[in-house]
Amino acid sequence: MFNRRQTLVLMGAAAAAALPLAAQAAPEQLKTLRIGWQKNGVLALAKGNGALEKRFATRGIDIRWSEFSSGPPLLEALGAGAIDFGPTGDVPPLFAQAAGGNLVYAGTYRGPPDGSAILVHKDAPIRSIADLKDKRIAFKRGSSAHNFTVKALRTAGLTLADISASDLAPSDAAAAFTSGQVDAWAIWDPYLAVAEKRPEARVLASGKGIVESWSFFLANGGFAESDGDILADLLDELRLVGKSAQDNLDETVRNLASITGVPEDIQRVVLTREGADLGKVAAVSPEAIAYQQELADEFFKLGIVPKQLDVSRIVWRRKQA
């Protein structure tokens, strides 16, 4: 039976989103840098080792952390001004931009393609993507798993209309998968790495060869405009944290396990997948913009995103002195 406690430990309360937005409004002079984080990646490490607190201490800036379980609620808080900065996969920014959220793409990082997968039950007769036709698949709408599901189905000539989609957050999807309420589950690391350890779960298909693994750092538009120097330093520090972590994987595994509560063996799986590199924090490149624009156009044509988007319009570019 799938261990619900293992997935629940991964889920964070979207604390910032639960607070009155008016109370979260940015002060006239920035004294607190509000960061949304999820229980993985370089931001989790930075939270654990206090790197950002050290970097900004001499400037009188405090760091406030708010935990989120996935990208959509994080970006909702970001676009509304409840937080200043946070990470997400490729799809959540499209929904946030379509909803008129005040946010910008600030940086990128690349994860391993097989850090996402579609899981099925070990003894299920589902042996190929084509076998998902008319099956119930759980994924969080507006997440990177949404994109992966669309593209995976396409490899077999299927669309979302050929399946029964269940819009579930990771912990709820895990419970639904365990109880047999859904036939398949599209999910990302570290939830995926946890699930792979369970004897009843089987990987039907990973993202490798199906979807590129672009992820993004986004910032509130007002924060990026008024405090671009802080934003630039923040991204630079994350790059340094990531590079150091990648160069010392044994220590990084222990640290992430301590920070997130996810066991060391799970963290090692996540950090050693082909293509994993915590130091791949970079500016938003033309390649990244092109990828997002193609995704935005595709989701608009499919009727998933309600309006045509110009991704380049909300890309932050550091002002030159």
Domain containing residue 119: CATH number: 3.40.190.10
Same domain? For 151 and 84 the reply is no
Q: Which of 172, 206, 240 is the last residue of a domain?
A: 206
Say if residue 236 is in the same domain as residue 284.
Answer: yes
Flag whether 171 is in a domain: yes
The answer to the question of residue 21 being in a domain is yes
Q: How far apart are CA 120 and CA 131, in angstroms?
A: 11
- Rounded to an integer, what distance in angstroms lies between the CA atom of residue 274 and that of residue 25? 41
pLDDT over 60 at 132, yes or no: yes
Strand order across the beta sheet in which 214-220 lies: 62-67, 32-37, 85-88, 214-220, 103-110
Gap between the Cα atoms of 254 and 263, Å rounded: 9
In a domain, residue 40? The reply is yes
Last residue of a domain, one of 157, 178, 206: 206
Same domain, 182 and 124: yes
Distance between alpha carbon 125 and the CA centroid of its chain, in Å? 31
Distance, CA of 157 to CA of 108 (rounded, Å): 31
The whole-number pLDDT of residue 72 equals: 87
pLDDT at 53 over 80: yes
Please answer whether residues 13 and 171 qualify as being in contact, where contact means their C-beta atoms are separated by less than 8 angstroms: no
Q: Which residues contact 161 (CB under 8 A, 6 or more apart)?
A: none
| Chosen domain end from 206, 233, 261 | 206
Distances (CA, A) of 52 to 142, 224, 234, 238, 239: 29, 17, 7, 8, 12
pLDDT, tens digit, 9 for 90 and up, residues 265-310? 999 999 999 988 999 999 999 999 999 999 999 999 999 999 999 9
Based on the domain organization, do 196 and 121 belong to the same domain?
Answer: yes
Tell me the angle at which helices 144-154 and 286-301 cross, rounded to the nearest 10 degrees. Answer: 70
The reply to whether 145 and 265 lie within a common domain is: no
> In terms of domains, do 91 and 219 share one?
yes
Q: How many CA atoms lie within 13 A of 71 on its CB side?
A: 25
- What's the distance, CA 98 to chain centroid? 18
Evaluate if residue 122 carries a pLDDT over 50: yes
C-alpha–C-alpha distance, residues 225 and 253, integer Å: 36
Is 73 in the same domain as 132?
A: no
What does the DSSP assignment read for 108-169? EEE--GGGEEEEEETTSS--SGGGGTT-EEEE-TTSHHHHHHHHHHHTTT--GGGSEEEE--
Q: Does 319 fall in a domain?
A: no
Domain that holds residue 240: 4-112+214-314
Angle at 11 between CA 9 and CA 14, to 5 degrees: 140
| Other CB atoms within 10 A of residue 175 CB | 17
**pLDDT beyond 70 at 264:** yes
Quote the mean pLDDT of the chain: 89
Residues 108 and 140 in one domain: no
- State the Cα–Cα distance between residues 217 and 236, nearest whole angstrom: 12
Position 217 pLDDT exceeds 60:
yes
Number of domains, the chain: 2
Q: So what's the pLDDT on residue 29?
A: 54
Q: Determine, yes or no, domain membership for 129.
A: yes
The answer to whether the peptide bond before residue 190 is cis (omega within 30 degrees of 0) is: yes
